[in-house]
Structure 1
Amino acid sequence: MRTDSPVQENHDTDADTPRVYDPFSYELHENPYPVYAWMREHAPVYRNEERDFWALSRHADVLSALRSPKLFSNRNGISLETELWGPEAYKTSFFLAMDPPEHGQLRTLVSSGFTARHVTDLEPRIRTMARDRLLPLLEQGEFDFAGDYAAALPNDIVCDMVGIPAADWDLIRADTDQLNMRADGEEDRSPATVAAALRLASYFVAHVTELRRHPGDDLTSHLLDVRVKGEPLNDSEIVAFLFLLITAGNESTGKLIGNAWYHGWLHPDVKRAGLDSRPGDWTSETLRYDSSSQMVARTVTEDTVLHDVLLPAGARVALLPASGNRDRRVFTDPDRYDLDRDTSQLISFGHGPHYCLGAALAKLEIKIALEEIGARISDYEIDMTYARRVHSPHQRGFAVLPCSVTMRDTPRDLPA
């Protein structure tokens, strides 16, 4: 029996009551959308005094900020956590913590691995990896969709791209899952999170050292040969890139697959259509309705007035694309989950020079993940009693999502 419903999830009994936007609050993680709705209507330039940041929630404002890197700079990173914010943010976020032109110079070095042609060429490999993860789970009939499939598949793909041996993929995922976790209301990382970061750093250093001795046909080996202003990237820069690629490629995509699965369960018509023939639309509407990527931070470089509110130079600003995707000024009836909706204006992957490098790959991974399972099952149920959400200021999704599946009598044919 369902213990949740679309009405319960989106219903707001007192929309005019002032809300607190705190990205570190577990209560917000459970359902941020009523808070976003209040902000869009009553505080489009929101101020959190306690944590010393501002927030933009309307689609037009978020889009404009994303398009304006000179005014809304990445130079201090994209995270509000004190330990990840500041002029040395590039050490952990690599080119995400840089502005043009430096950002573009470094982004270009790895962009060849994410072109539309290259991503299309990866489809057979992604399907093989999806089936390798999926088929043993279907034999069980019951499994954790979030952990065992949705999160595992993108992690497998990105680890494969950077040359990490298959035997280590699950170890990498366990530590990357820990990186974004925060205690309720806490900005600082826990000892467990710090330990996971150190293990990953140590692993990546050893991985780069090994590939310098024995390079392969992978993205990390490619980085060993590139030059920036005539100089090769050093090990620290390559390790920072590995952190960026593996955490970004793993977290957002895996959580989005789980969110699609959850909302399909809440909306039986969507579930039937998604499983039968519309995994692409299922992907796109989930990206709009409940994006895994909720917030990115910026630094304002000069005094700016927006909606009659002064954003002072140097201010930290949280941009909320997940809120913008629910803005009634852009999307009609935005709190309705609708596979027939035009999603061309969604901003889940950002915009401007920092538009997500892996967007095409992520959309293909999500579509294939849903398509492969839809070809083999006719129905599924989720046990929300044991479901558990991720608690992160940036990511929205499930850490655990137990489900049971009903197999089709005859699997639907898909590409080999």
Structure 2
Amino acid sequence: MTVHAGDHELVLDPYNYDFHEDPYPYYKRLRDEAPLYRNEELGFWALSRHADVHQGFRNSTTLSNRFGVSLDPAARGPHASKTMSFLAMDDPAHLRLRTLVSKGFTPRRIRELEPRVTEIAHQHLDVMVERAADGVVDYVNEFAGKLPMDVISELMGVPEPDRDQVRAWADGVMHRDEGVTDVPAAAVEASINLIVYYQEMVAERREKPTDDLTTALLEAEIDGDRLTDDEVLGFMFLMVIAGNETTTKLLANAAFWGHKNPDQLTPVYADLSLVPAWVEETLRYDTSSQILARTVAGELTLYDTTIPDGDILLLLPGSGHRDERVFENPDDYVIGREIGPKLLSFGSGAHFCLGAHLARMEARVALTELFKRIKGFDVDEANSVRVHSSSVRGFAHLPMTLEVA
């Protein structure tokens, strides 16, 4: 049975299509009526208020990551770290791996990548703008869905001729058809192909080091401790899952909400230094990463309720960002509003997103270069297609027409 947000009974079902279309009325009721919510049928608890989500992110002892951060049965369990690396670990294992990876994945490496990100953006924009001359283009297919994975390939050192194939596999890993909640065979096959490809790449770098991130990860060392090949592979896979899809969604969400709020976008065309503020408000208003799971370790008491050891607790950053206890007029899309450390999109505490600066740089470059080319755009809302996912929010297709500058 589907219960709508306005109906009497309050139900949070992360697999429900009505919820995917617009989760925000559900979130508001949760914050007001059930700040600690229990879903018996699906077997989880959920926190929806900003302060609780923030606190939840920071409590990495009682709220464990070691079974992964997804509600989906196939992605949950002690094997989660094989594909989610240190995101699916607790300290001290998490700290060791993250510290080693950080030696290769440095802010400086990201800074030095920016000119190449700009070039990759130009390559895809050239094609998109040319196709736009004939009418409607799919912004996700042509641009938002291509750039992030190509940037990861650039960072890792995937040769250019292989990048389309690697991107196709990455898409296959994430793709779910309507109504499919578990991992389909095609996604398993794509995962295996990707892992085999990366294994060969790691073996090549062991033989012949280059100046890419893959080599840097193999060479990272602390007091004689190094990453194993499997650990390097796990991190490469994390980049595909956590770094690719979320950035694609961010780029499309920015375009969509900009289109819906043209008054907010007009100043951005005139002053491209406002693009980072546009990115931040998009991250707040409609974040890619809506729902993250934790597993209670020990015992946790919240709102006079004791949550038993081993239970799943969902953190809802998408809800926290619309909490009027923290943001003024949270349901208004206001580019340039004060957000700062109140943003929950990249988490907080020990698991704060290692790729936050990469995502922000990519989004800034992508949207800046887009706006150098166009004077306006119009989204075909009727033919836009949302992604159906229990954790991320965004578009599979965003058809639009462009007014070329």
Q: TM-score scaled by structure 1?
A: 0.90
Name the structure 1 match of 2:352: 355
Task: Kindly provide the CA deviation profile for residues 213-255 of structure 1, in whole angstroms up to 9, marking residues without a partner as x.
Answer: 2221111112222347745433322221111012211111111
Matched, 1:243 2:237: yes
Indicate conservation of the 8 Å contact 1:133/1:149, yes or no.
yes
Q: Offset of 1:183 from its aligned partner?
A: 4.8
Q: How does 1:344-383 map to 2 (within 5 A)?
A: 344=340, 345-383=342-380
Matched, 1:270 2:267: no
How large is the RMSD of aligned CA atoms in angstroms? 1.9
Q: 1:127 and 1:183, CA in 2 relative to 1: closer, same or farther beyond 3 A?
A: closer
- Of 33, 36, 47, 1:42 maps to 33
Instruction: Give distance in 2, aligned partners of 1:41 and 1:350.
Output: 23
Name the structure 2 match of 1:314: 310
Aligned partner letter, 1:304: L
Point out the more displaced range, 111-120 or 298-307.
111-120
Q: Offset of 1:27 from its aligned partner?
A: 2.5
Q: Gaps spanning 5+ residues in structure 1: where?
A: 1-12, 409-416
Aligned partner letter, 1:322: G
Q: 1:14 and 1:386, CA in 2 relative to 1: closer, same or farther beyond 3 A?
A: closer
- Of 339, 342, 356, 2:338 maps to 342
Task: Kindly provide the CA deviation profile for residues 244-291 of structure 1, in whole angstroms up to 9, marking residues without a partner as x.
Answer: 012211111111010000011111112322333221111010000000
Q: 1:154 and 1:14, CA in 2 relative to 1: closer, same or farther beyond 3 A?
A: closer
- Of 96, 109, 122, 1:105 maps to 96
Name the structure 1 match of 2:277: 281
Name the structure 2 match of 1:6: none
Indicate conservation of the 8 Å contact 1:29/1:396, yes or no.
yes
Q: How does 1:18-57 map to 2 (within 5 A)?
A: 18-57=9-48
Q: How does 1:208-227 map to 2 (within 5 A)?
A: 208-227=202-221
Aligned length: 396
Instruction: Give distance in 1, aligned partners of 2:358 and 2:324.
Output: 29
Indicate conservation of the 8 Å contact 1:130/1:153, yes or no.
yes
- Of 144, 148, 156, 1:154 maps to 148
Name the structure 2 match of 1:190: 184
Helix, strand or coil at the partner of 1:385? helix
Point out the more displaced range, 74-83 or 154-163.
74-83
Aligned partner letter, 1:382: V
Indicate conservation of the 8 Å contact 1:113/1:119, yes or no.
no
Task: Kindly provide the CA deviation profile for residues 165-204 of structure 1, in whole angstroms up to 9, marking residues without a partner as x.
Answer: 1222222222222323445555311122222222212222
Instruction: Give distance in 2, aligned partners of 1:227 and 1:120.
Output: 22
Instruction: Give distance in 2, aligned partners of 1:321 and 1:257.
Output: 18
Q: Gaps spanning 5+ residues in structure 2: where?
A: none
Instruction: Give distance in 1, aligned partners of 2:129 and 2:267.
Output: 20
Helix, strand or coil at the partner of 2:38? strand
Indicate conservation of the 8 Å contact 1:56/1:319, yes or no.
yes
Instruction: Give distance in 2, aligned partners of 1:132 and 1:182.
Output: 28
Indicate conservation of the 8 Å contact 1:350/1:356, yes or no.
yes
Point out the more displaced range, 70-79 or 189-198.
189-198
Aligned partner letter, 1:20: V
Indicate conservation of the 8 Å contact 1:294/1:394, yes or no.
yes
Instruction: Give distance in 1, aligned partners of 2:5 and 2:60.
Output: 36
